[in-house]
């Protein structure tokens, strides 16, 4: 796939690459949790995931589900309660501890030997394991492969210059027959520097199109009052399903 922009992108966004040099450090993400700048967290879970859950799970049981940049996503408990095994990665230890506390789950923690300074937090039931480390260090661990990936607030949070590296890590974690759900947001990137970053259709095809069938399942109006302070006047959320070619 080439990286050409679609006519739709060009028409709406004269400069889709305006954010390409934007960089947030891991420390800045950790600070967001400390200062409670976490409006991206959804206490009720994601409505599009609820709506398309059956399509995503296909009635299968005992799946391994991966949550990149998981924060304290309540959906992790949804999957665990349905008998699936959940693995997440998150740079903020605070977010991980809050997840277990808020979900009333007892847990243990242990160092990740392959990554100095990193830890893994495991629910006592054994079906939720959250790795506190840089996502790009994950391939050094024996994390295994996954049947499902739920990518909400992950690709859109990764620095644009790291998109290809991120996609390569994600695809390296997939098992045969995988289903990968991705949520991205669309808005005028000349008016907001991100995150969340604007990820156009052409970029999704560039990153995943060579190995995945890409289906846009739904797009919905996601504009909230708080977005006015970003200088934008609309935001559309798009849900994609990737399956193996």
pLDDT digits (tens, 9 = 90+) for 161-181: 999 999 999 999 999 999 999
pLDDT tens digits, residue range 141-153?
989 999 999 999 9
pLDDT of 17 reads 80
Q: Residue 118's pLDDT is what?
A: 97
Residue 158: Cβ-neighbour burial (10 angstroms; 0-12, 13-18, 19+): buried
50: its two tokens: 């609820």
pTM as predicted: 0.92
- Residue 79: CB atoms within 10 A of its CB come to 24
Q: Determine the Cα–Cα distance for residues 40 and 152; give it in Å rounded to an integer.
A: 10
The SS3 of residue 12 is: helix
Residue 8 has pLDDT above 70, yes or no: no
Give the DSSP per-residue string, 130-145.
EEES-GGGGGGS----
Q: How many Å apart are CA 30 and CA 176, to the nearest integer?
A: 34
Q: Phi and psi for 16 in degrees, rounded to 5?
A: -75, -10
Task: Report the distance separating Cα 141 and Cα 161, nearest Å.
Answer: 24
Cβ atoms of 240 and 217 closer than 8 Å? yes
CATH superfamily for domain 44-244 = Vaccinia Virus protein VP39 (3.40.50.150)
SS3 (DSSP) at 235: coil
- The domains of the chain are located at 44-244
**8-state DSSP, 174:** E
Q: Which helix (H) or strand (E) holds 27?
A: helix 26-34
């Amino acid at each position: 796939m080439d990286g050409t922009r679609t006519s739709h992108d060009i028409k709406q966004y004269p400069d889709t690459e305006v954010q390409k040099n934007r960089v947030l450090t891991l420390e800045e993400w950790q600070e967001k949790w400390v200062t409670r700048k976490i409006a991206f967290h959804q206490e009720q879970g994601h409505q599009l995931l609820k709506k398309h859950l059956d399509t995503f799970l296909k009635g299968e049981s005992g799946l391994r589900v991966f949550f990149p940049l998981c924060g304290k996503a309540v959906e992790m408990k949804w999957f665990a309660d349905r008998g699936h095994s959940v693995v997440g990665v998150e740079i903020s230890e605070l977010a991980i501890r809050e997840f277990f506390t808020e979900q009333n789950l007892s847990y243990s923690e242990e160092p990740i030997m392959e990554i100095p300074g990193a830890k893994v937090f495991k629910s006592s039931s054994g079906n939720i394991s959250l790795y506190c480390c840089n996502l790009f260090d994950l391939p050094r661990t024996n994390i295994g492969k996954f049947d499902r990936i739920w990518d909400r607030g992950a690709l859109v949070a990764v620095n644009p210059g790291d998109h290809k590296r991120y996609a390569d890590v994600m695809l390296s974690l997939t098992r045969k027959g995988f289903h990968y759900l991705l949520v991205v947001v669309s808005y005028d990137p000349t008016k907001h520097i991100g995150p969340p970053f604007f990820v156009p259709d052409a970029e999704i095809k560039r990153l995943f199109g060579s190995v995945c069938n890409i289906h846009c399942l739904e797009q919905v109006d996601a504009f909230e009052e708080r977005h006015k302070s970003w200088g934008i006047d609309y935001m559309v959320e798009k849900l994609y399903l990737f399956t193996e070619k």
